[in-house]
Amino acid sequence: MDSDRLAPLELALEEEGLFCTRDDDADALRIAFKSEGDRYFIVSYRDDPNFVMVGSGWSLPEGADRERVARITNALNARKKFVKVALWEDENDVLFTIELCVGGAEEVRPHFGRLLDVLRDAATEFFAELRSA
Amino acid sequence: MFVGEELARFIQSEGHRVEMVADESGDRAELIFRARGYIFSVNVHDENPPHFDVATAYEIPPWARERAQNATALQDVANDVGGVRFALAANGKTFVVTLDCGSRPLQAFQSDFWSSVARVRDAGVSALERILDRSESRAAANKFITSLTRGE
């Protein structure tokens, strides 16, 4: 198994001018990075070399109406390209992920900026909708 | 510590690589970093309080490099957006958009740093769209006029 198959995405991050750290273990390859102060991650599983996930997780504001949160989540899932939105950890967090089936991470590299934009936009829209009356 | 160095650390702590160029006197510095595919520069003048501005440059496609018309488009966008200034550069091949963030404590500048960066980016995108839109409109009009002249 190629233990460095996320290397092209490390290069993509470098091209974007971002720092990153690796945190690989027996099960998964992981990259963590920040952009504009927000935290993101990339995950690939050793037993599924074609799977690559890019994501970010956010805490929900305390007291957020769960039904409303679920409605917003569903609406984003229906409308946004690429991104999957899910309530997570006892529904206290919201997770934005892009899950891809690729021959290699090199395929993702030229589109990495766009994927980051999609993640940012999804989170921005989610919280804007949550804040709106 | 020079305020430029503190700001560089802040930008790095936000996840971005930064290059800093300080002048010999040490009271001015330019910090260069990338965000969302654009290269930004922050000019820091170490006064009390320090003065900041944020800038980025956009390339104008070769077919749309008409200086007079683009200068007008940039002025129009500057009037619409407010707070930013535009300048054509490199013989009209690029334009620079700059947001003067004024003199203020570093922490105050940092607290809305990314929204300042977004304002610069959005103003630049608007200006480029305006330039391209005008150029495309003119190209379409020219085709129409030419075809009329030919009596087609």
What CATH number should be reported for the domain holding residue B58? 3.30.1460.10
Chain B residues closer than 8 Å to A121 by CB: none
Q: pLDDT exceeding 70 applies to what percent of chain A?
A: 97
Q: How confident is the model at residue A71 (pLDDT cuts 50, 70, 90)?
A: very high
Residue B10: closest C-alpha in chain A: A37
Residue B137 has pLDDT above 80, yes or no: no
Chain A residues closer than 8 Å to B39 by CB: 17
Residue B97 has pLDDT above 90, yes or no: yes
Q: What pLDDT was estimated at residue B129?
A: 92
Residue A37: closest C-alpha in chain B: B14
Q: How confident is the model at residue A111 (pLDDT cuts 50, 70, 90)?
A: very high
SS3 B137: helix
Whether residue B15 and residue A35 make contact (CB cut-off 8 A), yes or no, is: yes
The pLDDT mean for chain A works out to 93
Closest-CA distance, B12 to chain A, in angstroms, reads 8
How many separate domains does chain B show?
Answer: 1
Q: What pLDDT was estimated at residue B150?
A: 63
How are beta strands A38-45 and A48-59 bridged, if at all?
Answer: antiparallel
Residue B151 has pLDDT above 60, yes or no: no
What would the mean pLDDT of A56-71 be, rounded to a whole number?
92
Whether the model pTM is above 0.90: no
Q: What pLDDT was estimated at residue B25?
A: 83
Q: Looking at the partner chain, which of B12, B14, B17 has a beta carbon nearest the beta carbon of A36?
A: B14
Q: Which residue ranges make up each domain of chain A?
A: 2-131
- Read off the pLDDT of residues B14-38 as tens digits, 9 standing for 90 and up: 999 999 999 888 789 999 999 999 9
Residue B12 has pLDDT above 80, yes or no: yes
Task: Find the domain containing B7 and state its range.
Answer: 3-149
Q: How confident is the model at residue B139 (pLDDT cuts 50, 70, 90)?
A: low
What would the mean pLDDT of A80-97 be, rounded to a whole number?
91
Q: What pLDDT was estimated at residue B148?
A: 63
What would the mean pLDDT of B94-100 be, rounded to a whole number?
96
Q: How confident is the model at residue A1 (pLDDT cuts 50, 70, 90)?
A: very low
Tokens of A124: 């921005």
Residue A123 has pLDDT above 50, yes or no: yes
Q: Are A31 and A41 in contact (CB under 8 A)?
A: yes
User: Which residues is A101 bridged to in the sheet?
Assistant: A51
How many whole angstroms separate alpha carbon A123 and alpha carbon A72? 11
How many whole angstroms separate alpha carbon B134 and alpha carbon A46? 52
Least confident of A7-21, B56-70, B95-109: B56-70
What would the mean pLDDT of A51-68 be, rounded to a whole number?
93
Q: What is the CATH number of domain A2-131?
A: 3.30.1460.10
Q: Are A92 and A59 in contact (CB under 8 A)?
A: yes
Whether residue A37 and residue B117 make contact (CB cut-off 8 A), yes or no, is: no
Residue B114: closest C-alpha in chain A: A36
Q: What pLDDT was estimated at residue B147?
A: 67
Beta carbons within 10 angstroms of residue A94's beta carbon: 25
Residue B94 has pLDDT above 80, yes or no: yes
